[in-house]
Structure formats: structure tokens, C-alpha cells
Chain A
Amino acid sequence: MTRATGLRSVVAAVAFALVAGACSTSTEPPSAPAQGDGRVERVRVAARPGSYPTPIGARRQGQLQSTLLFDTLVWKDSTGDVIPWLASSWARSPDGTEITFTIRDGVRWHDGMPLTVDDVVFSYQYLMKPPGQAAAGILGAVFVGNLQEVVAVAPDQVVFRMKRPWAPFLPQIAGIVRIIPKHIWETVTDPIAFTGPQATIGSGPYKLESYDLATFSAALVANNDYFLGPPHVRRIEFVPAADQLLALQQGDIDAADAGTEDQLPENALAPFLQDPRFGSVGGPPEWNRALHFNLTKGFPFDDKRFRQAVAYAIDRDDMVKRILFGQGVVGSSGGLSPASPWIAPDLPPYAHDGAKADALLDQIGLKDADDDGVRDLPDGRPFVPELQTSAQFSPKTAELISEYLRQVGLSVTIRTLEAAAADDSAFAGTYEMTLLGYGALGGDPDLLLRVRHTPAAINLPQKSKGYDNPEVVALGEQQLFTADDSSRLATVQQLQRIVAEDLPSLSLYLPEPQLIFVKDVFDGWYLTPGGFGTVLSGALNKHALVTGKKVGF
């Protein structure tokens, strides 16, 4: 073949491939057949980034998928209350230090082996010591230190014996720890590297059929031998979709989340809400953007009157209107979601009040010494605090705060960091004031009230840096180590009152989550109050997918 003809062949081949590709009809996935037995044939949702759905330390979408492949002792339904799952019942000893779970009979792993109490004991023990403990990152030192033993006391009963009662045991431990098959994992010495088909064999209502590392797309098929019967939804597909609402409109997916601050353009949801083909379901707001003060930076950040003045200066109602287009609520000064069942009813609202802010700032000596319209430090030096924010979230928040503060004579410099750098800075506490975005405000209050405000507890980006109130630390322990639910509620509410007064951080606003779905495909969706699994929120609660109901089985 001469060079010239070779060249022509290449041109022809490339042209053919492109033209043939462009002209051929679309290769659509097989459409969902009619539903004969009332079950739903297939539900498609947007694939999102995440880890492989291993039961040990999965992240994001992988963590969500692992709740469908694996089971926990207890679970949650649409009420947010704990319901029996692998455990058919449980009983606490009078002093709360012992919890006995009765495990269901006849549960099988995806490979056909029976699930026994030994698997349950093994799963917990695997996560309490290396290498499982670090790989999972669920059971921390405080919990492990408090747990004396977990043992099988009958062929169908497991008991947890603790030094002191652990109040959030059911939702935060028994509802999170995935039960893994001992016959597979007992020989696994490197759980982080253990991936592949064996790693996803669980007892859950779905089996992993396919998983594409490149696109995060995955197909999960119903486990028809499931202990609650064949799941209502037979197949779940995670489909790559750059824009969820566009994909929903084009019929590529059957349900779309529309609930974070960047997904709420005005009227974007209107076409769906007015279209009878689509349904929508809301849920309690549980994700917030908050302003955190770093008390280790000294005056005036360590003076609660400064923090209160900033709270009065910020018009949070205006932020809800401008940033969330009215589709959200103002944060509670106690830090929990206003919709949380743990919320204290009588917290100071810190409604926008410029005069109060001015008075407090004057009181602590932040006055305009040189008549330039900007407040200075008591010694006359200019005061220009830095407000840090992450490029991950809406830039409007920092700009609005800067404007509100300017109105009370405070000049701030906005410092925008790339997401990981901002997270690192928040973790290390290298900011003066920072804007953070985080969720789990509607779940168990231990993380938000004890962990966040106890200096000795684990460090997190949302930790109140430099805040050390012995009363808060004591009440934090008190609400954790109790078996009395009503006294715990009183303690949690008292904690919120103190935190609302001290105000180491200010919850600004919470968008109201919403799920839009195609009614004809599946209309049993709900958003679980307080989330499920670890810190998961969203619609793919397996209770809905397995039962097709909002409550019950």
C-alpha cells in the first residue's frame, strides 16, 4: 500500500466511524417492562462520586450503596424513628448498660450461607480493633472504651455490655454498623484493599450486579431471598448525569434531589411541580451554612458580646430570601435543625437588629477612633477581621455578611479558598471567622452538641475552635451516658441554651430539601428525618425501596 492510499484509508475510516456513529440510532437501555405483580421494575437515579460500596469505610455514593447491600441491626423509616431490621427486637437492662438484640431467623447472605449471631459479634469486634477500626472510622475510642463486651448469649441473641449506658446506641451504633459475613471477612487482614465481588456479599435487599469505576454507574438487583420478601423495587440503576434536573426532564433518571443551596435557582422546579407526571416530596432541613468564630484568635473573637453583635448584625431572613429564594429556614442559635425533635423551644432568635449590634460593639470597645466609618480596636489600631469561605459553596453568603457587617461599622476581608484548602484550614483552625457547610443537624444531637463543643473530643472542621465551657463539657457527657430519654432531652435543651448564649458559631440558614420524581415509576419516596446509615440523607432509604411503604413492613 502506498503512502497516499494509506492516508486515504485513514481518512475514510475516521470519517466512517464518526458518520456511522452520528447516523446510527440511539442504543437505549431496555425500557422497564409493565409491572405485573405491583412491584417496580426499575428505578434510576443519578450516579454521584463516591467510593466502591464496601461495607468498611465506604464514602458518599458507595456508603449509600453499601446500605442497600448490607444490613444493620436496626433501621429508620419515614418517621425517623428506629425500627427493627436484622434484629427483630431489643431490650435494655434497667440501668441501661446492657442491650440485648434478638436476631431474625432465616436470614441468608447473598452467597446462600446463613447469617448467625456469630456474624453479628464478629462484625462489631472487627470494627473495634485494627485493622478494621481505622478502615471503617465508625467506632471511636470513646465508644470502644465504654464497651466491655459484645457476646452471643443464645443462638439468636447478642448482648452489648457497657460500663455506662450509651444514649444514642440504637441510631448511632446499631443503625450504622453493617453486619458482614464472618466466613469471608475473618481472613481479611487488609480491609482497605479488599474490594471485588466477595467484598460486596452482604445480607441486604440488593446485590451488586455491575459497577463502573470510570463513571460511578452501578446496577443493583433485588435479592429475592431477602428476609422481608422480594424487594418492592426490583432494580436500582445509578446513571451518569451531569445535571440531575435536565436528566429527569429528558427521562434519563426517575428521581432527582433538588435541595442544596446551589440547586435552587428561582423557578427551576416550577416546570416539574406544575407537570402532573412528576411528584415531589420534601423533608426537614438538615444541612446548613454556618459562621464559625475561632476563639483561639483572642480579642474580640473570644468575647461572646462580639459574636452576639455579629449575629444581630446579620440579616438571616434576608439571606434565606436572597440565597435560597425563600426555600429554606433561618438556623437555630443552638446549632440543631429547627425541625429537630431535640430543639429547645426558648432559644434567643438573634433577629436582625443593627442597634443591638452597635451597642454590643461599643460595649466591648470596638469604636471608630479615626472617624473613617470603620470600627477600630480599643487601642486605636484598625480592626479588619478575615472571613474565610470555601469556593465549594455559594459566594453570595460571604458577600452578604460583609455588607451586613459594614452597616455596623465592621470591615471584613473575604478570603476564598479552594474546597480542600478551606476544609484543611477549618480543621486546623487557622481562620478568624469562617463559613462552613455541613449537615446532620437533624440527627442525634451528640455530634453537634458534645463532640463539637468538647475540646478533648475528636477534631472536625465544624468544631468550635477554642470554645471551652466546663458546663457544656459536663452536660455533653451527661446526655451521652444516660439511659433516660426524658432527662436526656432536658440536658440537650439546656446545652443548646448555653451554646446559644455563648454562640461559638452561628447557624445561618438551611435549605429545604426536595425530591422530584416520576410518579408512574415509583411514588413511595420519602426523605428520612435525621438521615440513615452514618450521616446519610437523601431518598434512597432501603425501607422505602423494600416495602414500598412510608412506615411498617
Chain B
Amino acid sequence: MGPLPTPSRRARRLLAHYGLTVAAVVVLVFALPRAMPGDPLAFLRADNPESVDPAVLHDLQAYYGLDRPLVGQLGHFLARLGHGDLGISIGRRVPVRDLLQAHLPWTLLLIGASLALSSVLSYLLGCAAGWRRGRPLDRLVVMASSAVRPIPTYALASLLLLGGAVTGRLLPLGGARTPFAHYASPFAEIADVARHLVLPVTALASALVASQVLLVRNTMVSTLGQDYMVLARAKGLPLRLLQHRHAGRNALLPFVTSVGLQAGFLVGGAVFVETVFSYPGMGTLVLRAVASRDYPVLEATFLALALVVLTLNLFVDLLYGRLDPRARTG
């Protein structure tokens, strides 16, 4: 058996792993849009018919680098990317960077709020249910999560939308903020954004809680039977310490792993939720770009979403190391 890897070696290995993944993602985001049938310049001709005049079409193709062979296009894409240039949207006539700046923060807010809310709720509810195994709270948590889990995110979002429509104007049914609103104070602005966030976050977080609360509960149940828990109880430690420091921390490990695994689901779910609630995040941007085969936007959005997932995974990997000392050396 060789020497145990040092923390820095682990970090290097982790970075190399993520570096390779990012490289593969970059090639994929270039190739995927081009694998779809359809022409990114096609949508121009509906509004500007003469843009398909052979005399001008060539200029347009050359401008977007679409006249080159695929390898040339890939080189052009990589060179642009190297300079931090994401190109110009074909359908929207604005720099893709500006589009990302307009859309990405909303998705990060939606994902961040959903992740924070669902993690806290899953952990607290799961711990409480596991601790009180077989009691009414436990049965309620198990039943509720079993009922919510099979519902697809978009269906859940649609149900919430219907519910919101029935209850009138209590909560906004779409958008991320009131258009053209003049806010009296920064707090009013935050409150407005939060009101718009309630339904989308509820939809996305419910799905996450439903899938994770059982995991925490089950881990908690199995942890409670461990020898060290028996010892801790025998030592007469306070309940709160037993629940969270001893049982909870051990239940946290598989939970954190699952949060990492859920990152992809979270981003995918956000796309559906954003569509249902007309939330102006990356989902609506991606869907429109797919419909119009807007290659520069597709490349940038796929890349940005993949980086969000990878960053979440990396964060979880690093967090895992902090939570479980064995992972730091093993």
C-alpha cells in the first residue's frame, strides 16, 4: 500500500478531474446545438426575407463563422472563449454576455433559495422524523414525501400556478419582479423580488425536500442504533447535542452527497419551473435559444449551466472533506 494522499494532492486530483470534465463540457456544448436539425439563420428570414438572398447570406454566415467547416468553427469558438468573448446572439442582436448577465442571476437566486430552503427543511424534518420513528410526525413526513416525490416538477409548478390563480392576486403568478415598479426603499424591492420567488421556490424546493427528507430520516434511524450513540446516551449527553452533534452530523454525510447528485436535477428542474412561472432565468433563455437554434446563446447557456452544476459538485466534494476527515486522507 502506497503513502496516503495529502490534502493538497487530493485537491490537485480533484481539480484535474474537474478540469477534464470542463474540457469535455466545452466540446459538448459546441457539438450539441450543431447536432440538432435546423439552421440558426433560418429565423431571420421570417422577418427579413432578403437575408436569405445568396448575395447576403454568405456574409451573414461568415460573420457568425458558420461558413467554416466544423473543426474551423470549433477553433473559432475556442479562440473566442479564450478571450472571454461569448459572441453575439443571432436572434436577439445583443452580446451573449449581456444576456447571461440578465438571466443567470435569476436562476442562481432561484436555485440558491431552493437549495438553501430545501436543505434546511430536509435536514431538520428528516432528523426530527428519524428521532421520533413511528410517531405521528414521522408518519406524516414519510406520507407527505411519498405523495410529493412522484409528481414531476413541472406538474407541481403547474398545480401551484393554478392554486395561485384561484387565490387571486395574493402572489404574483409570473415574472421575477413587478415591471416598471418604483420602489420606496431597498426593502420594498427585496420584498417584491421575494414575493415573486415564493411560488417558483416552493415548486422547486418541494421536489427536493420530498426526495431528501427520507434519506436524512433513514440515515438518522440507522445511526441511532450505532454503538457510539448508545455510548453517548449512556454518558448522559444533552438531547440537542445527541441529536445534532452525534446523530445529525453522521446523517449529514449521505445527505451532502445526495445534494451534490441533485445539482443536475436542480438546474433541470429550474428550467421547467421558470417556464411555468415565466421566471426570466436561464430556462427561458435556453428554451428560446433552442427554438431558434441560436448557437452562440446555446453554447454559452449550456456552458454556464454545466459550470453551475460542476461548481455545486465541487463545493459538495470540498464540504464532504470537511465533514468527514476520512475523505481528506482517503
Q: Which residues of A are interface residues toward B (Cβ below 8 A)?
A: 3-4, 7, 10-11, 14, 17-18, 20-22, 24, 26-30, 49-52, 54, 57-60, 62-63, 130-131, 133-141, 143, 192-193, 195, 210, 212-215, 217, 219, 237, 239-242, 250, 417, 419-421, 423-425, 427, 438, 447, 451, 458-461, 534-535
Residue of B nearest to A64 (CB): B47
Interface size on B, residues (CB 8 A): 78
Q: Is the CB of B50 within 8 A of A215?
A: no
Beyond A59-B44, A217-B179, A423-B42, 8 extra complex contacts between A and B, CB < 8 Å: A10-B116, A137-B45, A141-B55, A215-B175, A219-B180, A424-B37, A447-B49, A535-B46
From known contacts A17-B194, A21-B195, infer whether A214 and B106 are also in contact, taking CB-CB under 8 Å: yes
Q: Which residues of B contact A459 (CB under 8 A)?
A: 52
Q: Is the CB of B120 within 8 A of A27?
A: no
Q: Is the CB of A14 within 8 A of B93?
A: no
Q: Is the CB of A427 within 8 A of B39?
A: yes
Among B93, B173, B201, point to the contact of A54 (Cβ < 8 A): B93
Q: Is the CB of A27 within 8 A of B181?
A: yes
From known contacts A134-B60, A140-B50, A237-B179, infer whether A421 and B37 are also in contact, taking CB-CB under 8 Å: yes
Q: Is the CB of A24 within 8 A of B43?
A: no
Q: Is the CB of B179 within 8 A of A29?
A: yes
Q: Which of B82-98 contact A (CB under 8 A)?
A: 88-89, 91-95, 98
Residue of B nearest to A142 (CB): B53
Question: Which secondary structure dominates chain B's binding surface?
Answer: helix
From known contacts A17-B194, A20-B194, A535-B49, infer whether A140 and B179 are also in contact, taking CB-CB under 8 Å: no
Q: How far is the CA of A57 from the CA of B193 in the complex (A)?
A: 34
From known contacts A20-B191, A21-B197, A29-B178, infer whether A51 and B92 are also in contact, taking CB-CB under 8 Å: yes
Q: Which residues of B contact A28 (CB under 8 A)?
A: 178, 181
Among B88, B173, B178, B193, point to the contact of A193 (Cβ < 8 A): B88
Q: Is the CB of B42 within 8 A of A420?
A: yes
Q: Is the CB of B49 within 8 A of A419?
A: no
From known contacts A11-B120, A57-B93, infer whether A239 and B179 are also in contact, taking CB-CB under 8 Å: yes
Among A240, A419, A424, point to the contact of B175 (Cβ < 8 A): A240
Q: Which of B22-76 contact A (CB under 8 A)?
A: 36-39, 42-57, 59-60, 63
Q: How far is the CA of A135 from the CA of B44 in the complex (A)?
A: 10
From known contacts A29-B182, A239-B179, infer whether A134 and B56 are also in contact, taking CB-CB under 8 Å: yes
Residue of B nearest to A457 (CB): B53
Q: How far is the CA of A424 from the CA of B113 in the complex (A)?
A: 40
B41 to chain A, nearest CB (A): 9
Q: Could you name 23 residue pairs across A and B whose Cβ atoms are closer than 8 Å? A: A10-B120, A17-B194, A28-B181, A50-B92, A52-B92, A58-B47, A58-B93, A135-B60, A137-B56, A137-B60, A140-B49, A195-B94, A212-B102, A214-B285, A215-B280, A239-B179, A423-B39, A423-B43, A427-B45, A458-B52, A458-B53, A535-B46, A535-B47
Q: Is the CB of B192 within 8 A of A18?
A: no
B145 at the A/B interface (Cβ < 8 Å)? no
B176 at the A/B interface (Cβ < 8 Å)? yes
Q: How far is the CA of A459 from the CA of B192 in the complex (A)?
A: 49
Q: Is the CB of A52 within 8 A of B94?
A: yes
Q: Which residues of A contact B244 (CB under 8 A)?
A: 3-4
Residue of B nearest to A421 (CB): B37
Q: Which residues of A contact B92 (CB under 8 A)?
A: 50-52, 62, 213
B124 at the A/B interface (Cβ < 8 Å)? yes
Residue of A nearest to B37 (CB): A421
Q: Which residues of A contact B122 (CB under 8 A)?
A: none
Q: Is the CB of B93 within 8 A of A137?
A: no
- 6 closest A-B pairs by CB: A137-B51, A21-B194, A137-B48, A420-B38, A140-B50, A134-B59
B303 to chain A, nearest CB (A): 18
Q: Is the CB of B48 within 8 A of A136?
A: yes
Q: Which residues of B contact A131 (CB under 8 A)?
A: 59, 63
The stretch that binds A, out of B3-11, B222-230, B287-295, is: B287-295
B278 at the A/B interface (Cβ < 8 Å)? yes
Q: Which residues of A contact B172 (CB under 8 A)?
A: 26
Residue of A nearest to B195 (CB): A21
Among B106, B181, B280, B291, point to the contact of A29 (Cβ < 8 A): B181
Q: Is the CB of B169 within 8 A of A423?
A: no
From known contacts A14-B117, A237-B180, infer whether A534 and B60 are also in contact, taking CB-CB under 8 Å: no
Q: Which residues of A contact B179 (CB under 8 A)?
A: 29, 212, 215, 217, 237, 239-240
Q: Tell me the number of A-to-B contacts counted with CB atoms below 8 Å.
A: 222
Q: Which residues of B contact A52 (CB under 8 A)?
A: 92-94
Q: How far is the CA of A7 from the CA of B124 in the complex (A)?
A: 10
B315 at the A/B interface (Cβ < 8 Å)? no
B78 at the A/B interface (Cβ < 8 Å)? no
Q: Is the CB of B169 within 8 A of A250?
A: yes
From known contacts A28-B181, A423-B42, infer whether A460 and B176 are also in contact, taking CB-CB under 8 Å: no
Q: Residue among B48, B113, B124, B173 with the most chain A CB within 10 A?
A: B48
Q: Is the CB of A213 within 8 A of B291?
A: no
Q: Is the CB of A51 within 8 A of B93?
A: yes
Q: How far is the CA of A66 from the CA of B55 in the complex (A)?
A: 25
Q: Is the CB of B293 within 8 A of A420?
A: yes
Q: Which residues of B contact A240 (CB under 8 A)?
A: 174-175, 179, 278, 280
Q: Which residues of A contact B117 (CB under 8 A)?
A: 14, 18
Q: Residue among B103, B174, B182 with the most chain A CB within 10 A?
A: B174
Q: Is the CB of B55 within 8 A of A22?
A: no
Residue of B nearest to A42 (CB): B180
Q: How far is the CA of A139 from the CA of B195 in the complex (A)?
A: 48
Q: Which residues of B contact A424 (CB under 8 A)?
A: 37-39, 42
Q: How far is the CA of A26 from the CA of B91 in the complex (A)?
A: 34
Residue of A nearest to B241 (CB): A4
Q: Which residues of A contact B124 (CB under 8 A)?
A: 11
Q: Which of B202-247 contact A (CB under 8 A)?
A: 240, 244
Q: How far is the CA of A460 from the CA of B49 in the complex (A)?
A: 8
Q: Which of B153-203 contact A (CB under 8 A)?
A: 169-176, 178-183, 188-198, 201
Q: Residue among B47, B192, B240 with the most chain A CB within 10 A?
A: B47
Q: Which residues of A contact B176 (CB under 8 A)?
A: 214-215
Q: Is the CB of A26 within 8 A of B169?
A: yes
Q: Is the CB of A4 within 8 A of B240?
A: yes
Q: Which residues of B contact A458 (CB under 8 A)?
A: 49-50, 52-54
Residue of B nearest to A60 (CB): B47
Q: Which residues of B contact A141 (CB under 8 A)?
A: 53-56
Q: How far is the CA of A195 from the CA of B188 in the complex (A)?
A: 32
Among A133, A419, A427, point to the contact of B291 (Cβ < 8 A): A419
From known contacts A22-B171, A52-B92, A460-B45, infer whether A213 and B98 are also in contact, taking CB-CB under 8 Å: yes
Residue of B nearest to A430 (CB): B37
Q: How far is the CA of A356 from the CA of B160 in the complex (A)?
A: 54
Among A22, A60, A250, A425, point to the contact of B198 (Cβ < 8 A): A22
Q: Which residues of A contact B36 (CB under 8 A)?
A: 420-421
Q: Is the CB of B93 within 8 A of A213?
A: no
Q: Which residues of A contact B46 (CB under 8 A)?
A: 59, 438, 535
Residue of B nearest to A216 (CB): B280
B312 at the A/B interface (Cβ < 8 Å)? no
A237 to chain B, nearest CB (A): 6
Q: Is the CB of B56 within 8 A of A133?
A: yes
Q: Is the CB of A63 within 8 A of B240?
A: no
B253 at the A/B interface (Cβ < 8 Å)? no
Q: Which residues of B contact A214 (CB under 8 A)?
A: 102-103, 106, 176, 280-281, 284-285
Q: How far is the CA of A193 from the CA of B48 in the complex (A)?
A: 18
Q: How far is the CA of A535 from the CA of B195 in the complex (A)?
A: 40
B128 at the A/B interface (Cβ < 8 Å)? no
From known contacts A192-B93, A250-B169, infer whether A137 and B49 are also in contact, taking CB-CB under 8 Å: yes
Residue of A nearest to B192 (CB): A27
Among B93, B174, B183, point to the contact of A27 (Cβ < 8 A): B183
- Contact indicator per residue, chain B 249-290, by CB within 8 Å of chain A (1) or not (0): 000000000000000000000000000001011001100101
B304 at the A/B interface (Cβ < 8 Å)? no
Q: Is the CB of A24 within 8 A of B116?
A: no
Residue of B nearest to A21 (CB): B194
